[in-house]
Structure formats: structure tokens, C-alpha cells
Amino acid sequence: MATQRIGTNRIANTAVSGLKLAADSVRGNNIVLGTITGNLIADGAITSNHIANGTVIAVDIADGSVTGPKLDLNSVSGNNLGLGSVSGNNISINSINASNTIVLGTITGNLLASNIINSNNIVDGSILGNDLGLNSVSGNNLGVSSVSGNNLGLSSVSGNNISINSINASNSVVTGSITGNLLASNIINSNNIVDGSILGNDLGLTSVSSNNIISNVSINTTRIVETVNTSTVAATGTITINVLDSAIHYYQGNVVSNLTVDLRGNSTSALGTVLGVGQSSAIAVLIPVGGTQYVIQAINIDGVAQTIKWGANTRPAYNVSPPNSFIDSYSIIAIKETPSTYIVLAANTAFGVGA
């Protein structure tokens, strides 16, 4: 019998169904290209049970022919995708739901086109520290300003996660973005700071205090510059010395009476709260002397009178007619012996042009 083709206009709708066709009776070489299209296939007619592994490959699928609405939830999983079969150009925004579609490890950096994942594709909180492998995020993978304080959870960035030189303060860190309350204790130490990397201009006022410097620290310096607390008025009566303001206190006017010195921390802090037991404070009080040599007769600490132990066991002498004008320098050391008692040492030296 001669071979004849039966056209579709000679077969009634539903005349040929799956029940009337033997297994394997319809194959690719029996079907003319383009004769079976989407509108000829009923919903659900082709399922995974009807498609042998490997029968549909990338070259069989036209660009754009498979879209999200044509795929059931979870129909495409990592086990069904060959290496390299899914690239950035084939993934539309929101087409992959990581929570139920992607098997752990199936999508790696080399499978994603540049810039395919950006802030618009990532829901806030969707990436946690546990989701990132060690060293998976480096400086080369982050755009300028891409990571800010608002995007980092508490303790999400630690020393172990930051490689040497990965953060360049000059262009990666906004002024004020890293403060003391964001750094764990001892996270920054001498091993992490290059010589000369921190200058005086980099430190805020009072940012380095005695409480922030460990005891017995070794300081190597070429010079120390101290500020002199200068008063333009003459010393008279009781003069209050703020130990926290300066170690040297200079009164420019000639002294006009014998003096009592009252030592305190400053206007808001008592010296007793500044010093701990076993700690001391040393100051110098400079007083010009004119026609009469008045002297310091008493020393108080936080308003409480103290017993003074004078150098050479000699009190400074009151002199009505000193030989010439000079500056009396008083060196005072206050040692906190107990929570409520002090040892106070004082010495007086006259500095002048000579006899």
C-alpha cells in the first residue's frame, strides 16, 4: 500500500487520544516540525512522567517559551538543572523563590551574571550571616557604600570576618559610622593598627582617657606638650585648683594675701572620685611676688583641710620686704591613701633673676 498522509482536516477533534495510541507509537521522527503547538495540547497532558530524562535539552526550547506562569511551584529544582543551564539572562526578577525552589549549593557565583543580584532583588533580612560562607563576601564584591550600619545586624561583622586591608577608612567608612558602642571589647589592639595610622586630629575631644588606657602601658614619645591654666587676676584668699584642667596653674598678678589652695577634680567632679586608692595627682601653682612675699598656708582637698608635709621639713616664710620680685613655685602632690584620707606633700621654690 502506498504511504499516504492523513491531514488534520480529516481527523475530528478528540478522535485520536492517548488511549488509542500504543506506547512509543508517536515519536519525534513521525511529527513534522511545528505541527504540535501549545494550543493543541490540553492542560496537564504532558507531565514529568511522559518525558524521559534528557529528552528535552536547551536547544529544544526557544528563548522565552518557558515562563513563570507555565511552571508549577517547585517544578524546577536544582536536581533538574544541568551545570550552567540557568544563567542570569534566563532568570527574571522574582522568578526564583529561594525558600522552596533552590537546593543548597545549586546556584554559585560562577552561574550568576554580573549585577544579576542587586538590592532590588533581595528582601530585607533575607540574607543572614549563616547564609554566607567564610570569605564569600570581600571588598571586590561590594559596591561603594553598599554596606552601611543599617544593613548590618548586631555583631554581624567581627574581626574574623574582615581581612587585612578589606576596609579602607578613607573611602569605605563614613564619618561617625563606627563608634565605640559598635566595637567589641579588645577588638582593636596594637596588632591591628599600623604605626602612624592614628593621629591627634583623628581623635575626638576626650576620646582617649585614662580609663581607656591599660595600666603599665609603655609610651614612647619625642615630646609632651602640656597646657598651662593661666589666670589674669592676682591670687588672694582661697584659690580653687581644678586638677582635671591642667597640671600647671599660673596666676599673672602679684599675690595680695596669704593663700589657701583647694584641690578638686573640676566644677562637677570631686578629686575623691577622680583618684582611686593608691593613685596620686601632682600639680604646680605659680604665684608672682611683688612688694610682700605672701605664701600658701593651707591646702584643702574637696573643701577638707589636710595636713601638709613640707619639703626639707620647712614651711615657706612670710617676708614683708623680699629682695626683688620673683615667682614662687609650689609643687603639690596629693596621694589617696585610703578612701577618705590623703598624704599631701608640698615644696616651695623661688625663681628670680638673682641677687
**Sheet hosting strand 308-310, strand order edge to edge:** 228-234, 248-253, 280-289, 326-336, 342-351, 308-310
311 within some domain: yes
220 within some domain: no
**Sheet hosting strand 304-305, strand order edge to edge:** 237-242, 259-264, 296-301, 304-305
Q: Are residues 95 and 144 in the same domain?
A: no
CATH of the domain at 270: 2.60.120
Q: Are residues 84 and 34 in the same domain?
A: yes
Q: What are the E-state strand segments in 8-56? A: none
159 within some domain: yes
DSSP assignment letter at 190: G
Q: Are residues 74 and 138 in the same domain?
A: no
Domain ranges, residue 267: 228-351
186 within some domain: yes
334 within some domain: yes
| The model's pTM | 0.48
Cβ 240 vs Cβ 299: under 8 Å: no
28 within some domain: yes
Residue that finishes a domain, picked among 215, 245, 262: 215
Low-confidence ranges of the chain (pLDDT < 50): none
Q: Are residues 175 and 292 in the same domain?
A: no
pLDDT tens string 33-55 = 677 776 777 777 777 677 777 77
Give the distance between the most distant pair of CA atoms in the chain: 151
301 within some domain: yes
Q: Are residues 261 and 339 in the same domain?
A: yes
Given this model, what pLDDT does residue 132 score? 65
Given this model, what pLDDT does residue 222 score? 83
Q: Are residues 346 and 234 in the same domain?
A: yes
Q: Which amino acid is at 38?
A: G
pLDDT tens string 194-222 = 777 777 667 666 666 655 666 677 777 78
Instruction: Give how many domains the chain has, as a whole number.
Output: 3
Write out the H or E segment, with its range, that includes residue 274.
Answer: helix 271-274
Burial of 288 (0-12, 13-18, 19+ CB in 10 A): middle
Given this model, what pLDDT does residue 264 score? 98
Q: Are residues 151 and 116 in the same domain?
A: no
Q: Are residues 147 and 167 in the same domain?
A: yes
223 within some domain: no
